[in-house]
Structure 1
Amino acid sequence: MSSPPPPGIYVPAVLFFDENEEFDIPAIQGHIRRLAHGGVTGILVQGSNGEAQHLSHEERKEAIQLTRKTLDDSGFQNVLVIAGTGAQSTRETKKLCADAKDAGASHALVLTPSTWPPQMSIENIIRFHREVADASPIPVMIYNFPVVTAGQDLDSDTIATLAQHPNIVGTKLSCGNMGKLHRLTTSFPKSEFAVYAGRTDLLTQGLISGSAGSIAALVNVLPKLHTRLYNLYQEGNLKEAMELQGKMAHADWAIGRIGGIGGVKAVVSKHFGYGNTFVRGPLKAVDSEKLRENKHYAFMEEMIALEKAL
């Protein structure tokens, strides 16, 4: 039987480009190394923050290979690489899962197709994920993120049905539904089906409810603080964990208001010495020189100071 990734902190890594929208390999490598040094358990390549839908098949495979090689060459062989393999057809999703295995990923994270939401009945959603899991050479996790799947929000019954498949080993819940998370964690042991909060503002609450950790965008900016928060909870220091959780919830809100993927790249490139703000259209870049015009940025600066002090 397939196994889920180990509990911990995972990051849906942003992907850096140059002015021609080609891979900025030194910046990508610098980001991977900083995340690994920050203590992350694994790196998700081509999560929603990794601009998967803007990449060719060859680029998706290259990004996975580059991440795995950079980790290995830097002494982080124990850091996992998970690949987002969602696509609009079952056939293409199966191909991307096979590519991910070849490129060095240990697990695949699969979004529900969203081009034809009226066709995606619960039965069809279950059929899609089961067919992908049947074909995938690596264990599969269900990625539930209504914002990027035309509003499709898989309920706990649907995910629980899928969890019974021997090659479906977990889920990332970016829907923010704590009741759903708790229902799933109390239905399956995390050693068989791991449930990850998809947002930092639910990290500690999710851990209290039995989650395996989180896979969250803000880790791109604050990996050490996420690791610190996770460790505080594991050590039983709930009071200090919840104090830090409150700050992280504000930071999670702030980074979203600064500009999503473009905002993450702008903040990282401004504060950590690598990368540029380029995104692939139709996403919008955020000018790092104008960050202070955003009312949420001052709080992010405070949190980055805490990150750099660790």
Structure 2
Amino acid sequence: MSTPPPSGYYVPAVLFMTEDEEFDVPAIQSHILRLARGGVTGILVQGSNGEAQFLSQEERKRAIKLTRETLDTNGFKDTVVVAGTGAQSTRETIQLCVDAKEAGATFALVLTPSTWPPQMSVDNVIKFHRDVADASPIPTMVYNFPVVTAGQDLDSDTIAALATHPNIVGTKLSCGNIGKLQRLTSRFKPTEFAVFAGRTDFFLQGLLSGSAGTMAALVNIVPGLHGKLYGLFKEGKIQEAIELQAKLGHADWAISKIGGVGGVKSVVSKNFGYGGVTVRRPLKSVQHESLTANNHYAALEEAVGLEKAAGFV
């Protein structure tokens, strides 16, 4: 049996680019190090915020290697690297898992193929994930994100069936379904099969329901506050954790309202002094000026202010 990733808070890191849509290596490294210094348990390279679908195979491998090397050379060898290895065929997904291992990742996070949803019956979904796990040289996790898989939303029975595979060690639930999360955590311990909230807005609720933590986009902006909430939970200071969760929940909602991946890059570059707003087209960039014109941005400003005031920057 493979070992699941450790409990904690992980970040599906954005990948900063130059204006001509090439890797902005200094900015990527600055981001990786700010996240690591913010105490993240691990960095997910090429999650949905990492623009994986818009990268070549070689670029995907390069991004993983850059992340692992940046962490290692700066004293963060214990920070876990998870690689998103989703692709539209079983064959390519397996190859991306092999590439991820070679580039230094410890775990692979696998999306369900979505080009032909009518063919992805429950039996075929299970077969796909098992086939990938059979061939992958690193443990795999099931990534459930209906928004980017043509609406496919794996239920708890399907994920539980996959959890019995010796090389499938966890799941990231970006569906936001707390009932599904609890049905899984009540069947599997985090040391057997790690269930992660895929969004910040149910980070604490997931922890209270037995989750292993979160892998969430907002960690890109305020890693330290996520660490604080996790610490409050571990210390049993639940009321304080509830109050912080409320602020983070508003900030998480705001991120979804200011432009997704482009919005995350814009907020980070505006507030932390590195990177830019470029995304790979056809994704849309979010300019700094548009942030302050958005009514939702105030919640993010408050979270960033708390991050800085607490000395997490």
Q: Which amino acid aligns with 1:141?
A: M
2:41 matches 1:37: no
Please name the residue that 2:53 is paired with.
53
Q: Which amino acid aligns with 1:224?
A: G
Please name the residue that 1:234 is paired with.
234
Runs of 4+ in 1 over 3 A off after TM superposition: none
Q: Which amino acid aligns with 1:258?
A: I
| Aligned counterparts of 1:193 and 1:302: Cα–Cα separation in 2 | 35
| Aligned counterparts of 2:188 and 2:3: Cα–Cα separation in 1 | 13
| CA deviation after TM superposition for structure 1 residue 119, in Å | 0.4
| Aligned counterparts of 2:222 and 2:256: Cα–Cα separation in 1 | 14
| Aligned counterparts of 1:304 and 1:285: Cα–Cα separation in 2 | 21
Query: TM-score when scaled to structure 1?
Result: 0.99
Please name the residue that 1:112 is paired with.
112
| Aligned counterparts of 1:196 and 1:292: Cα–Cα separation in 2 | 32
Please name the residue that 1:266 is paired with.
266
8 A Cα contact 2:145 2:174, kept in partner:
yes
Please name the residue that 2:142 is paired with.
142
| CA deviation after TM superposition for structure 1 residue 303, in Å | 1.1
Q: Which amino acid aligns with 2:46?
A: Q
Deviations 1:188-212 (Å, cap 9, x if unpaired)? 1110100000000000000000000
Query: TM-score when scaled to structure 2?
Result: 0.99
| Aligned counterparts of 2:287 and 2:108: Cα–Cα separation in 1 | 33
| Aligned counterparts of 2:309 and 2:134: Cα–Cα separation in 1 | 46
| Aligned counterparts of 1:214 and 1:8: Cα–Cα separation in 2 | 7
| Aligned counterparts of 1:239 and 1:52: Cα–Cα separation in 2 | 38
Pairing 1:273-292 to 2, within 5 Å after superposition = 273-292=273-292
Q: Which amino acid aligns with 2:261?
A: I
Deviations 1:126-171 (Å, cap 9, x if unpaired)? 0000000000000000000000000000000000000000000000
**What is the percentage of aligned positions where both structures have the same residue?**
72
Please name the residue that 2:211 is paired with.
211
| CA deviation after TM superposition for structure 1 residue 289, in Å | 2.2
| CA deviation after TM superposition for structure 1 residue 309, in Å | 1.3
Please name the residue that 1:190 is paired with.
190
Please name the residue that 1:172 is paired with.
172
| Aligned counterparts of 1:134 and 1:143: Cα–Cα separation in 2 | 17
SS in 1 for 2:268: helix
| Aligned counterparts of 1:213 and 1:237: Cα–Cα separation in 2 | 16
| Aligned counterparts of 1:181 and 1:290: Cα–Cα separation in 2 | 36
| CA deviation after TM superposition for structure 1 residue 114, in Å | 0.2
Q: Which amino acid aligns with 2:2?
A: S
| Aligned counterparts of 1:303 and 1:200: Cα–Cα separation in 2 | 13
| CA deviation after TM superposition for structure 1 residue 291, in Å | 1.2
2:4 matches 1:4: yes
| Aligned counterparts of 1:235 and 1:13: Cα–Cα separation in 2 | 27
2:92 matches 1:92: yes
| Aligned counterparts of 1:302 and 1:155: Cα–Cα separation in 2 | 35
| Aligned counterparts of 2:213 and 2:301: Cα–Cα separation in 1 | 25
8 A Cα contact 2:247 2:299, kept in partner:
no
Q: Which amino acid aligns with 2:13?
A: A
| Aligned counterparts of 1:299 and 1:183: Cα–Cα separation in 2 | 32
Alignment length (residue pairs): 310
Gaps of 5+ in 2: none
Q: Which amino acid aligns with 2:254?
A: A
2:19 matches 1:13: no
| Aligned counterparts of 1:290 and 1:94: Cα–Cα separation in 2 | 40
Gaps of 5+ in 1: none
| Aligned counterparts of 1:87 and 1:138: Cα–Cα separation in 2 | 16
| Aligned counterparts of 2:14 and 2:227: Cα–Cα separation in 1 | 18
Please name the residue that 1:293 is paired with.
293
Please name the residue that 1:202 is paired with.
202
Deviations 1:88-117 (Å, cap 9, x if unpaired)? 000000000000000000000000000000
Q: Which amino acid aligns with 1:19?
A: E
| Aligned counterparts of 2:185 and 2:267: Cα–Cα separation in 1 | 34
Please tell me the root mean square deviation across aligned C-alpha atoms, in Å. 0.5
Please name the residue that 1:73 is paired with.
73
| Aligned counterparts of 1:175 and 1:28: Cα–Cα separation in 2 | 28
SS in 1 for 2:176: coil
SS in 1 for 2:15: coil
| CA deviation after TM superposition for structure 1 residue 290, in Å | 2.4
SS in 2 for 1:9: strand
